Amino acid sequence: MVTRLISANASEVLSMNGKELKQSIKASEGRTILSENVVVHECPDGVTTSEIAAAFGADLILLNALDLLNPIILGLYPGEGTLKTAKVHRDGKIIQDLKKIVGRPIGVNLEPVDINANMLETRLSIPKGRQASQTTLEEAQKLGFNFICLTGNPGTGVTNAQIAKNIEIAKKVFSGLIIAGKMHGSGVNESVVSLKSTESFLDAGADVILVPAVGTVPGLSAKELRPIVELAHQKGALVMSTIGTSQEGSGARYIESIAIENKIIGVDIQHIGDAAWGVQSPIENIYPLSKAIRGERHTIQRMARSINR
């Protein structure tokens, strides 16, 4: 058996495999917070965005804009707080080093770009090291990530069909948790979330189904989302609701209301994105999200618990 994530020490969390981490999240009964943050934001104060997010109560850290073929995490190493001073670290230690100072499971966004996607806007081109492929998924395994998130940033042309294809690849080459789904349209003319796409992700082997939080994508109601959550749970998967539409900067009252709404629906993880500042989840909003879904007691102990335990 495993310790539930909201009560686990860093030494326990970082020793968990993918299956154990999934069980630890499930045992936390809807009280797990994931913070997504951009790794190429300049850090003149010599601290990573991941450390800041962890300090304010995040249980899981998701890295965005990390090129796995040319990895840079600003603020991780002395003297590398800006893009001008940063070095590409290909020695394979970069994620292990981040885990040591953050004491949290670390994941990465990989984007299943579909070159044939029916686009609604001009496509944003991203490096191969940020796109989901067998090469980058194998690299994620080598680097020691605890989980991957197969999703899309705005305008990159990620489709649900391409996500499903990459889940199948990931199941063969990656041993950690596989999170999959879309937070928003990613510039593509298709439904962001549906029972059909959820079934395809589950059939492909996703561990966690990613869905937009109620209140983030126009027209997506609790009535529509609940059957998706129920289906995922019936199939043994978890569900993560996401705030990835810049509303992570909408203020504490909004964050609290969205947190309760999505907990009622039954999601297991609540994500808060990086778009508010274009860097990471605003720290004053991670805290009210945490208090709303797990109360002050668990919020404070997560913030205060030493990574050396």
Instruction: Please indicate, yes or no, if residue 5 is contained in any of the structural domains.
Output: no
* Model confidence band, residue 150 (pLDDT cutoffs 50, 70, 90): very high
- Tell me what pLDDT residue 75 has: 92
Rounded to an integer, what distance in angstroms lies between the CA atom of residue 98 and that of residue 10? 13
Q: What is the pLDDT of residues 244-286, one digit of tens each?
A: 888 887 888 999 999 999 999 999 999 998 866 655 555 668 9
Instruction: Please indicate, yes or no, if residue 277 is contained in any of the structural domains.
Output: yes
The arithmetic mean of pLDDT across residues 90-99, rounded, is 95
Rounded to an integer, what distance in angstroms lies between the CA atom of residue 155 and that of residue 202? 25
307 CB burial (10 A radius; 0-12, 13-18, 19+): middle
Q: What is the pLDDT of residues 297-307, one digit of tens each?
A: 999 999 999 99
Instruction: Please indicate, yes or no, if residue 262 is contained in any of the structural domains.
Output: yes
Instruction: Please indicate, yes or no, if residue 274 is contained in any of the structural domains.
Output: yes
Contact 53, 286 (CB under 8 A): yes
**Domains: count for the chain:** 1
Q: What is the pLDDT of residues 189-207, one digit of tens each?
A: 889 999 999 999 999 999 9
Give the N- to C-terminal CA distance of the chain in Å, as an integer. Answer: 19
Torsion of CA 153, 156, 158, 162, to 10 degrees: -120
Instruction: Please indicate, yes or no, if residue 182 is contained in any of the structural domains.
Output: yes
β 208-212/238-243 pair status: parallel
Kindly report the backbone phi and psi dihedral angles of residue 29, in degrees, each rounded to the nearest multiple of 5, phi listed first: 50, 60
Supply the CATH number for residue 296's domain: 3.20.20.70
Worst-scoring range by mean pLDDT, 63-72, 167-176, 244-253?
244-253
How much is the mean pLDDT over the chain? 93
Percent of the chain with pLDDT over 90: 80
- Enter the pTM of the model: 0.95
pLDDT at residue 53 greater than cutoff 70? yes
Give one word for 281, left, alpha or beta, with left for phi > 0 and alpha for psi -120 to 50.
Answer: beta
| Beta bridge partner(s), residue 60 | 34
Residue 63's domain comprises 30-304
Instruction: Please indicate, yes or no, if residue 17 is contained in any of the structural domains.
Output: no
